[in-house]
Structure 1
Amino acid sequence: MGVFEGLLLGFETAMRPETLLYCFFGVFLGTLIGVLPGIGTLATISLLLPVTYHIAPIPALVMLAGVWYGAQYGGSIASILLNLPGTPSSAVVCLDGYPMTQQGRAGVALFVTTIASFIGSMLGILALVLFTPAIAAIALQFGPAEYFTMMLLGLVAASTIAAGTPAKGLAMVVLGLLLGTVGTDVNSGVARFHFGFAQLRDGISLVALAMGFFGIAEVINSVNRKTSAAIREKFTLRSMLPTRTDLRQSALPVLRGTGVGSFFGALPGTGTSIASFMAYALEKRVARDPSRFGKGAIEGIAAPEASNNAAAQTAFVPTLALGIPGCATMALMLGALIIHGIQPGPLFISQQPEMFWGLVVSFGIGNILLVILNLPLIGVWVSILRTPYRLLYPAILIFICIGVFSVRNNPFDIYIVALMGVMGYVLARFGFSAAPLLLGFVLGPLMEETLRRTLLLSRGDPAVFIERPISATFLAITAVLLIWGCYGSIRSSQSRRAAMQAQAEARSAE
């Protein structure tokens, strides 16, 4: 099927009333979640996973995807108005967005971020259309050995690049892999690591794990957070229109940011946060006057916003074409597909053309809805930002319990989500990121299956991973990433030790 025929099929699918309704609901909820600092897309998509059991696969995926890229739009609103990033990828927007608010130009900043987000998203969708079928065609040549080493590379990249400390990231990946082994072994039928609980013979629920680590843990961590002072600025259409100078200064940064985001979004282990910070660093490097950054430079918000929205679209490339999620949110998307009995991978486009092209077209429709929603509803988002968190989080806890119970009608899952929430909070306090754990949990069973299949075909000879060129290449890149991560950790520990020693010497000299 060609691109033109695929887009026609996608329009037919995406324009169905049910799909449009769920698309609108997803982007609206995603924007709302992006506006509210601290909740995040992972917790929201985790809450919505039980809902997807009761609706058709295509509207379900359209809704979850709408939450994902809709939050990228909404995250910049709180960053600009309150200096509080609604999403991690919007943190860099605080650097120049909030100074613009202090200068009385918040309306212009919000308008530019909306347009930059729209352009970045639409160009990211174009990259998704062009590259996903090509990558899927190449991946058809992969065997189980290539799939195993590719997933291994994705997990190592996610832990050593995206996480703060590589050792902690790897530890969380291993913990996720271990949690994924709980339950009945598919090959032998033997129950593993159930500790006498019959309820664990079916394994740990992905919904319970995600809601615990990204829902309960976030509620515990943010329950004492205070809202910022009220926003007094009034927003009118005239106050939001940028000048010609603003448009000229932001045009090229939007295009450069889109290129950066499209590239990094498709790489496993990077995601929207890395893309937005890289785009900001690039603009600061190529600027004629870098001293303007951090003081209200329009390029400092245009490039990161275009970048993180482009990355949000191209993140679907490895997820759909290879079945390899590049970030924690994409792991949840992969889990939602598997829940509906759909296996992403090289055959996904040929076996599920209606779903793939319907998703692509719905992304474009959703981004148009976001532009229509964001500009008129800025006053509404400002009012929501004044809502005390003590009123929001009890409702979130209730929805978490209802959602977890509705998946399997099993009260035991509520205890699991509570345990995972406490575990997630404790690990977060010690600097352990939960995102690598979720990647390890989702990919763990797939890695085990491909590893066993590879060793079965090679009659137990592990040399097959080195003898196959593509597999050996993936292993070499994985080794380089591990060495790079270890080297970086040693350098940072030496720097900290030298700084502490210098401080001690300074105190002794005094």
Structure 2
Amino acid sequence: MFDQLLHGFSIALSTQNIFLVFTGAFLGTVIGMLPGIGPINAIAILFPIVLQFELTPSSALIFFAGIFYGSQYGNSISSILLNVPGTSSAAVTCIDGHPLARQGRAGPALAMSAIASFSGGVLSIFLLILFAPYLSKLAIDFGPAEYFVLMVCAFTALTSFSHGSFIKALFSAILGLAIATIGIDELSFGGMRRFTFGVEELGDGIDFIVVVIGVFAIGELFLYLSELSSDTVQKIAPLNKVMMSFKELKESFAGILRSCITGFLVGVLPGAGATIASFLAYSTEKKMAGASGKFGKGDLRGVAAPESANNSSAVGSFIPLLVLGVPGSETTAVMLAALITLGVTPGPTMLTDQPDMFWGVAASMFIGNLVLIILNLPMVKLLAKILLIPRWVLMPLIAILSIVGVYVLNGSEFDLLLMLIFGVIGFIMRKTGFPLAPLILGLVLGGLIEVNFRRALTYSYGDFSTFFESPISIGLWIITLLSLVAPLFFKVLKKGRTQG
């Protein structure tokens, strides 16, 4: 294995591939900062250009991989500074990243994001190299029943986001689930329309990015306008130190490791994606912190966890892509199409038939993550100064960025109307104390829960025991139960110690 990795570095360190790694990582960072574009559109747009340069499949994949993990870090920049998530997975970073920026701690938040992304990326590459053949077998064992239980397990993260009222958090999650059901039911005969109310444009459902940008960015804009009219504008604290303290880094280190493992394992599962990984990692760290944490109000651990998880999830998604020929995410689905066009069909024989590609890409990821941290850490101070721009200038820029980001998705004016509607919903939820995170979680998991639940029952002819048959399902049910019981146990234990 060590010899193969060295051979991979000899491929990745060629002049052409070094240039492609650097260019991909840089472009990915820039693309990640722009809402609505994302690595999927970037790779799709750049693929015809790649064909013109007649790159080898290995070099093309190295370039696309650089865009993919570069965008994971770029997403965090706009999330932290502007409260505008570039992609769905970056929505979790907004929860603590933007409050930190408003407190004058944009520098430490950006630095923590860079370090967590780098750590999660590098550690997950080691996991990729060590466990790719074994984890590919695990991914094959996941059927609809196992996926349903996994989604239920992820949904228990909802309890972590109830800062005060569990009822409000539950309502927020149900609203997210309801939004996820809008559109054509693809599993029904003839494609039945659900909750479209005669509106033709709702037939395809509501794009996740439209909801996220509306709730976070436009909701923030409406909040600013309401404060402006009442002379109660919340001022952003002056920019303090650029880097976090060693103590803060030390406190976050264990969480970065846990989130890396979580993100990598979720990334291995086809279709799970970085968004679920980020929510699971954030939820876990919030529970681990207990009363000592300031999650939701500005905690660096709330930035470190999702950033480590989404970068490691990006690496993990290459296992089903290369070893099974099954895309682990929407982005790797585009990469799979590109590889097939270039004459390569990934599959179980990839490690033996195409070792140059597997080990070359793995080695390039080490180099790419190193490039990212060298590129981005020195820029933290410069990026943080964006917040020094007066809010009356910044808010219109955010509005323009949001409008462009939503419009480029489908070229639809109706999406812009939906964005405004969800902006109003986000504003009302902020004003009334309803948490935003459960809404996003419900929206992400709603469709996945329903589809896998119905498929599992179809395959088992309506037998509900299918959800409790496999060892994987049983293990996930146990984890789900523990995640619900553990907070109550620790609460009782803490109360007993206080009384004692």
User: What is the RMSD computed on CA atoms of the aligned residues?
Assistant: 5.4
Matched, 1:55 2:45: yes
Pairing 1:323-338 to 2, within 5 Å after superposition: 334=329
For 2:391, the aligned partner's letter is: Y
Q: Is the 8 A contact 2:40 2:331 kept in 1?
A: no
Show CA shifts across 1:404-452 (max 9, x none).
2333232211111111221122223334343443343344333333222
Q: 2:235 aligns with which of 226, 236, 241?
A: 226
Residue in 2 that maps onto 1:314? 312
Instruction: State the 1:379 CA deviation.
Output: 5.2
1:5-24 Cα offsets, whole Å, 9 max, x none, are 77777778993856643420
Give matches, 1:86-485, under 5 Å. Answer: 88=95, 118=118, 121-131=121-131, 134-154=134-154, 156-162=155-161, 164=163, 167-186=167-186, 187-189=188-190, 190-221=192-223, 224-229=233-238, 256=254, 258-263=256-261, 265-266=263-264, 268=277, 273=282, 310-316=308-314, 334=329, 363-374=365-376, 376-377=378-379, 380-381=382-383, 383-482=385-484
Query: Taking structure 1 as reference, are residues 368 and 212 closer, same or farther at Cα in structure 2, changes over 3 Å only?
Result: same
In 2, the alpha carbon distance for the partners of 1:185 and 1:112 equals: 41
CA distance in 2, matches of 1:422, 1:13: 51
Contact 1:256/1:279 (8 A) holds in 2: no
Deviates more, 1:433-442 or 1:140-149: 433-442
2: CA distance between counterparts of 1:212 and 1:358? 40
Determine if contact 2:39/2:71 at 8 Å carries over to the other structure: no
Q: 1:75 to 1:451 in 2, by over 3 A?
A: closer
TM-score where L is the length of structure 2? 0.63
CA 1:260–1:420: 2 relative to 1, 3 Å: same
Q: Distance in 1 between matches of 2:485 and 2:248?
A: 39
CA distance in 2 between counterparts of 1:251 and 1:442 reads 30
1:333-381 deviation per Cα after TM superposition (whole angstroms, max 9, x unaligned): 9455568887xxxx99759999987875565344323333345445533
Distance in 1 separating the partners of 2:205 and 2:80: 38
Q: Deviations over 1:79-119 (max 9, x none)?
A: xxxxxxx965669999xx97xx9xxxx99x99999778755
Cα drift, residue 198 of structure 1 = 1.1
Contact 1:89 1:272 in 2 (8 A): no
In structure 1, how many angstroms separate the alpha carbons of the residues matched to 2:472 and 2:368? 37
Q: Distance in 1 between matches of 2:14 and 2:157?
A: 37
- For 2:464, what is the secondary structure of its paired residue? coil
Displacement of 1:137 in angstroms is 1.9
Distance 1:149 1:113 in 2: 30
Tell me how far apart the structure 2 counterparts of residues 427 and 150 of structure 1 sit (CA, whole Å).
28
Q: Is the 8 A contact 2:158 2:441 kept in 1?
A: no
Secondary structure of the residue aligned to 1:413 is helix
Q: Secondary structure at the match of 1:459?
A: coil
Amino acid at match of 1:422: V
**Matched residues in 1 for 2:423 and 2:223: separation?**
10
Contact map agreement 1:49 1:207 (CA 8 A) in 2? no
Structure 2 residue matching 1:184: 3-state secondary structure? strand
Distance in 2 separating the partners of 1:446 and 1:111: 34
1:448-488 deviation line (CA, Å, top 9, x unaligned): 33222222222212222233443234334334444556x58
TM-score normalized by the length of structure 1: 0.62
Distance 1:356 1:46 in 2: 30
Separation in 2, partners of 1:73, 1:398: 17
Query: Which residue identity does 2:463 align to in structure 1?
Result: D
Q: Would the alpha carbon gap of residues 13 and 192 (structure 1) be closer, same or farther in structure 2, given more than 3 Å must change?
A: farther
Going from structure 1 to structure 2, the CA distance change for 1:177 and 1:258 (only over 3 Å counts) comes to closer
Question: Higher mean Cα deviation, 361-370 or 383-392?
Answer: 361-370
Indicate which of 63, 69, 86 corresponds to 1:65. 69
Native 8 Å contact 1:208 1:417 kept in 2: yes
Q: Tell me the CA shift for residue 149 of structure 1.
A: 1.4
Using the alignment, how far apart are the partners of 2:432 and 2:465 within structure 1? 39
Question: Could you tell me whether the CA contact under 8 Å between 1:265 and 1:272 is conserved in 2?
Answer: yes
Given that 1:125 and 1:313 are in contact with CA atoms closer than 8 Å, whether structure 2 keeps it comes out as no
CA distance in 1, matches of 2:332, 2:476: 26
Of 193-202 and 130-139, more deviation after overlay is shown by: 130-139
Is the Cα–Cα contact under 8 Å of residues 183 and 202 in structure 2 kept in the other structure? yes
Number of paired residues?
A: 424
Structure-2 separation of matches of 1:230 and 1:203: 41
Shift of 1:74: 9.8
Cα 1:52–1:456 shift into 2, 3 Å? same
* Paired residues of 2:182 and 2:195 also in contact (CA < 8 A): yes
Contact 2:73 2:114 in 1 (8 A): no
Change beyond 3 A, Cα 1:366–1:170: farther
Q: Which amino acid aligns with 2:17?
A: M
1:504 alignment counterpart: none
Q: Distance in 2 between matches of 1:432 and 1:322?
A: 38
Work out the CA distance in 2 between the residues paired with 1:320 and 1:163.
Answer: 34
AA in 1 matched with 2:382? V
Q: Secondary structure at the match of 1:15?
A: helix
